[in-house]
Structure 1
Amino acid sequence: MKTSRYHVSFYIIIPLIFAGYAVLASISTYRLTQYCLKHDLDPGSLLLWALIVISIIGSVCGLIIVWILLKPVSNFIRNAQSVMPLKEAEEDAKDPIEKWGHVFNEITSRLSIVETKELFPEIIAESEIMRAVLSQIKKVAPTDSTVLIIGESGTGKELVATSIYKQSLRNDKPFIKLNCVAVPDGLWESELFGHEKGAFTGATSRKIGRFELANSGTLFLDEIGDMPLETQAKMLRVLQEREFERVGGTRSIKVDVRFIAATNKDLKKMVEVKKFREDLFFRLNVIRLDIPPLRDRRDDIAVLVNHFCRQREIEVSPIALQMLMENSSWPGNVRELQNIVERAAVMSENDIIEPRHLPENIIGSGIAPLLAVSSAGESPDAGDDNSPPSLDDQLSGIERAMIIEALRKSEGVQVKAAGLLRIKQRSLWHRIKKHNINAKAFKKNN
């Protein structure tokens, strides 16, 4: 079968169709009016019938065009929903066009997640805020610009630096790391620039420094805010001149190095109090990447927990997962979460992490009584130091536990969960919102 080589854009053919129909209707009306006047007939009734016929034909043609154009879109939406139910978007949608907008936004978001997993497999993140960071990394990585990574301890700054290196044009060259906190006083120059034999007491042989090792590659300086001021001045010279001398040496060594620095400190405030050189700060702060703390990317908690559990070949109960997601503060960020999951995995029985395996600060005094009610069906001991929860709180806890259990059994599919609970899907969605339950956490692909 021969394929046509000529294609006309919808932006041209659709306006031409309507314009042609309008011209045809005008000519037909004009001819009909002339005919009536020529034969002394009243044109009113004939024009009315002509208008009705033209309107009907126009409506039918419009419906055919809309059907032709929107049928592939409708099929695509239906197929997309069969693969990934988008019920929350449907609940809020007032008309099909609005619903389609929600669906396309959700599909775009999920495609972005897929792209993120392919480009950055070592970074476990699906939240919108982290996808924005990874999008920046994708743009920055192919360049040779200096990158300054800012983030609290445990947010994954080293992973981000490694991702920049792997996506860069220097990914086949050396990637040298230096933790500035671990360098002893007095050995900074030797670590960074190396030394010649006999340069100082104990220098029994020549040592190659980190700058020289990273030549033609990438040097990552972690926690650069802990670097002494005198070393910062020498660092600045290397950044500017791209050359240095070994300790005890006289020959200048030129290097071609890309710099990536990271810190959990506020370098601007350190500059103000004269604890960090302003000129070095400006040299480093060419491209800045701010890594959000875990408390600002709660959508990633479920993904991270499931990832850590898969590594240890263990499962986490829905209630325990929900408690981890609801923890109000994560000062240790991803590292703290990983340690908690590891501890709970060691303490667990039957390879399932339950709420009792979590630390007290995660369970919380307000959730523990509700947990006792929802899991054991018994009221808390009135003799405890804390006053027992009210009837409304207990009923709310039971309702919440039932919803979590239904979501677990249905693997996060809200249509099935509503069927298990024998309530309408819209009612389930409102209850999920009311109890702040993350239904996505129960899906198999997490």
Structure 2
Amino acid sequence: MKALYFSLRFWLALIGLVLLFVAAYALPFLFPVARIALFVFVALCLIEGVILFRHRKGIFARRDVTDRLSNGDENPVTIYLENRYTLPVYLEIIDEIPFQFQRRDVLFRAGLKPNETKAIRYELRPTRRGEYSFGAVNVYAMSPLQLVKRRYQFSQDKQVAVYPSYLQMRQYELLAATNRLSELGIKRVRRLGHSMEFEQVRPYTRGDDVRTMNWKATARRSGARGTDLMVNAYQDERSQAVYCLIDKGRMMKSPFEGLTLLDYAINASLVLSNIALLKQDRAGLLTFSNRIGQLLPAERRPGHMLKILELLYRQKTRFLESDYEALYATVRAHIRQRSLLLLFTNFETVNGLHRQLPFLRRLAKDHLLLVIFFENTEMAALLNQPATNTEDVYQKTIAEKFAYEKKQIVKELQQYGIQTILTAPRNLTANTINKYLELKARGMI
């Protein structure tokens, strides 16, 4: 009996019967009609109940979802349905998704012919890392009469983990392998010169830079058949250390479009680390807040990306001010080789920068430091709205002040030779990869 439910059509028909019996008190000739209608209604409900419950497994359903969801991305979820009845059925499907999504609209309707199968696909976008628990897939089956429902339950208690944005990582990886990164906003950087790492001497082909001509090799290859021009081939500097330094302090707790700044930084770090490994560099990580978190030395071994993914998955925001002095001491003690340090942090005021500037200058003295912080996109939207009253004027004035301070922070960092990126959170990954490729092409690493 727990699987027995009644449809909306059942309750409407029942209300109609009650009204018909009420009318029969005033109009006695309606009473026989009401009795016949009641008997027909009860008979139809019994017939539909027998049809639905005589098959032990009349409907089969399965939810297909990966064991890992990608944070901040649309993750596909598929529900497969199969009708094992010998007559058409009408289905209502309710998927019990994790409570973190705060959605109550995962309801689908479908009609299936005998022995027909169908797939229902929808997407979920998580905004927090961690463990998520799916409930059951509830399928309510009805015959063509649609008076009585039978409930089926499948795929209960499915546990999945929400990891940093590996879907975004795979997308960048695929486009990098096919030289199509420009589709995601990655610019082609003109090389300003040659790297110093020699690869080989090869025959000249049209389009080669004549400045790379190797005249000694050309003279050795010349003979009776004529002159074979030879050029030196160079390759990008490899095995350079690239570290992502991720600030987990209270300033990284700010949410934008559902994700915190920390999650944006984690997603960008994952993608950048993968791109660095594709460019034959070594990738490492260091997290910090009021104390030092995890340090993963820069390597390029098989399975290193899995270590990076697992380390990023466990990171959480702390609510204290970050200790940049401890960051400098850790970098000085453990990162001895000159490296590219990408510092994901956030400064809201120039005074906030001044407190940390001495430590940033010391980091920039031994390494190539790139400070990446965020625009306040909601404040930028406020600046673009017209002011209609005095309160709006005050709000826009304060917003202009904060926007100006962000630009002052960029100028002050550049004054001390520190590379900077001021970016909207949604553009963080593309802008960071662009800067990395630019620094690499200019031979600054």
The structure with the largest strand share of the pair is 2
User: Common fold, TM-score beyond 0.5?
Assistant: no
Give the TM-score normalised by structure 2. Answer: 0.22
**TM-score, normalization by structure 1:** 0.21
Q: Give the number of the structure whose residues are more often helix, by fraction.
A: 1
